[in-house]
Structure 1
Amino acid sequence: MRLKNKLYNEALRDKKESVITNDGSCTLYSFEFEEHYHSTTEGALMESLHKHVIPAFSLIKTKKELHILDICFGLGYNTFATLYYVLKNNLALNIHIYSPEFDKKLVQNLKNFNYPDEFKEMKEIINSISEHFYYEDKRFTITVMIGDARIEIPKLTQKIDIVYQDAFSFQKNPLLWTKEYFSSLRDICASDAILTTYSSATNVRMGLWESGWSIYLPNKQNVRIGTIASLGELELEKVDMELKISRNKEAKSLKDSEYI
């Protein structure tokens, strides 16, 4: 993928700083993207649970097998929080998680990361992912796809039920927030798929909406409001995107052509 402007800086990729967030869990600060991997105010674990896992699982209740796309793997909080939630609530589910990540060294070092106590029973899983980028048992399958998400995601053949859209922000990593990117997600998703994201930005919601997703407001949680999108109808407050556009004629979605 040939870029018009330099979006990534490999010279800074290994430069990260450990940070303790407000819920006591640890995250990292990326000097390459000039952002934390998680909200330091809400907390790494709280953000994963209340912006992604709990909203998604509250909306998909009838399936016994779920295929989840976690974008991107990073420190693995969304993936591990999913397993924690399923085990804690004794949910009779088989879970398959697919997660792209271009920072191979980051994943390899996760076996040494200071995770919260909620993940202490997952040491074997974390070690397997660090060493093999894969884990499998009778209930859970986790596949970390090392590489560019825009290249790896279209390779998926299994229809996705849940997308955790949790990349670095559109200001820092725009190619994972464009209309074309959201269209590529739609193409690999089931007809009733749910997408969760921390972003409530108008250009992000427009990109989703223009790609065929319906936009909803999540139920109020103890975290800053984000967005839920679906390819089906949900019993949530729907965002009237046509009204928003009529009130803001200059609003537009991000496009690949701006960056590629």
Structure 2
Amino acid sequence: MRRPLRRAGHGRHTRPAAQRHLRGNGARPMTDVTTAADRAAAYWNSPGTVTEFRSLDVQPYLTDLLARTAVDGPALDVGCGGGRNTLALLERGFDVLAVDLHAGMVEATRARTAAYPSGRISVRQGPAHEIPAQDGTFALAVCQGVLHNAVDRAQWAATVTELARVLRPGGLLALNTFTCETLDPMLRAGTEDGQYLLPDNVPMVLLPVDEVLAAFTAAGLAARGETHTYVRDLDVGPRAVLRCVLRREGD
């Protein structure tokens, strides 16, 4: 069942590839970095951003999901950021593979989980659409604030397919992603439907909720329980959010 879109108040950014200096908060401009990928990397690897993400606590909805869901098997944290979800998974007894595109976040997660033995935690650098794991490896995957950072629809679709590939039958995906239900006026249309450009020309993919869910269904992941949609007034502007749990088809 899908709940109606609502407004969820203010907050900090989750993982939009955006530069907050464009809203006048004093962050360093990055005009010396030439490509969109380099600009995004410069932002996510900057000491201030890494420190901020390393200090974040796990969201209550994920804590609640982990407390009430019996899952037996390893877990995946895609786009691990500063390691808050990785740590929560470890504390619940999961062996974890954590993956992030940016070296600064990888090092932050390694530092935050350093108390755990290497047999229980592996932190790797890489993109969400190329997860270093065999088919059907994970009983649980967390993908929070990552999917919309795909540079185009092809990469977005590849990430959906990859998440389905590495989940075992019956495995769960805890998904949180931005959608196009509410659009920040500072975003501009990109070169294809569903692609939007931030003011510094870094792309992101924002699709309707129904299209997001349909893509996962086609990949073999069906929504389990309620889907939640709401608007967050973040420091980078308003963002429409889809949050749900999906289950991989099979026993």
Q: CA deviation at 1:74?
A: 1.0
1:7 and 1:166 map into 2 onto residues whose CA distance is: 25
- Post-superposition shift, 1:218? 4.1
Tell me, yes or no, if the aligned pair for 1:97 and 1:143 is still in contact at 8 Å.
yes
- Give how far 1:102 is off: 2.0
Q: Give how far 1:157 is off.
A: 5.8
Letter of the 1:126 partner, please give it: R
Aligned equivalents of 1:229, 1:99: Cα separation in 2: 19
- Check the 8 A contact 2:82/2:109 in 1, yes or no: yes
Aligned to 1:58: 68
Asked if structure 1 preserves the Cα contact closer than 8 Å seen for 2:90 and 2:96, the reply is no
Q: Aligned equivalents of 1:17 and 1:202: distance in 2?
A: 37
- Structure 1, residues 128-166: CA drift from partner, whole Å, max 9, x if none? 39xxxxx526xx711111122323x15436620001012
Q: State the TM-score, normalizing by the size of structure 1.
A: 0.53
Deviation at 1:213, TM superposition (A): 1.0
* Unpaired stretches in structure 1, ≥5 consecutive residues: 1-5, 20-25, 29-36, 38-42, 87-92, 112-124, 130-134, 235-260
Q: Name 1:150's counterpart in structure 2.
A: 129
1:59, CA displacement in angstroms? Answer: 2.6
Partner of 1:80: 87
User: What's 1:45 paired with?
Assistant: 57
Counterpart AA for 1:128: A
Matched, 1:136 2:117: yes
Aligned counterpart for 1:196 among listed residues 167, 174, 177: 174
Contact 2:138 2:168 in 1 (8 A): yes
Deviates more, 1:168-177 or 1:179-188: 168-177
Structure with higher strand content:
2
Amino acid at match of 1:136: P
C-alpha separation between the residues in 1 aligned to 2:142 and 2:216? 14
AA in 2 matched with 1:9? A
Q: What SS does structure 2 have at the residue aligned with 1:136?
A: coil
Q: Tell me what 1:163 maps to.
A: 141
In 2 relative to 1, CA 178–172 (structure 1 residues): closer, same or farther, beyond 3 Å? closer
Q: Which has the higher contact order (CA 8 A, sep 6+)?
A: 2
Match of 2:236 in 1: none
Is the aligned partner of 1:231 residue 2:248? yes
Structure 2 residue 235 is the aligned partner of structure 1 residue 207: no
In the TM superposition, residue 192 of structure 1 has moved relative to its aligned partner by 0.8
Q: Deviation of residue 178 (structure 1)? A: 3.1
Asked if the contact 1:170–1:176 (Cα under 8 Å) also holds between the matched residues in 2, the reply is no
Q: For the Cα contact (< 8 Å) 1:45–1:81, is it kept in 2?
A: no
* Aligned-partner residue type, residue 96 of structure 2: I
**Partner residue in 2 for 1:10:** 38
Q: CA deviation at 1:207?
A: 1.4
Shift, 1:203, TM fit: 2.6
Q: What letter matches 1:72 in structure 2? A: G
User: Do the aligned residues in 2 keep the contact of 1:164 with 1:195 (CA within 8 Å)?
Assistant: yes
Q: Distance in 2 between matches of 1:101 and 1:126?
A: 14
Q: Find the residue that maps to 1:54 and give its secondary structure.
A: helix
Q: Find the counterpart in structure 2 of residue 121 from structure 1.
A: none
Secondary structure at the residue paired with 2:120? strand
User: 1:59 is matched by which residue type in structure 2?
Assistant: T
Aligned-pair CA distance for 1:190: 1.4
Compute the displacement of 1:60 (Å).
Answer: 2.3
Counterpart CA distance in 2 for 1:81 and 1:180 is 27
Indicate conservation of the 8 Å contact 1:70/1:165, yes or no: yes
Q: Secondary structure at the match of 1:45?
A: coil
2:52 is aligned with 1:27: yes
Instruction: Kindly state the Cα deviation for residue 228 of structure 1 after the two structures are TM-superposed.
Output: 0.9
Range moving further from structure 2, 157-166 or 187-196: 157-166
Q: SS in structure 2 opposite 1:226? A: strand
Report SS of the residue matched to 2:88.
Answer: helix
CA contact (8 A) 1:179 1:211 kept: no
With 208-217 and 153-162 compared, the bigger mean Cα shift is at 153-162
Moved over 6 A (4+): none
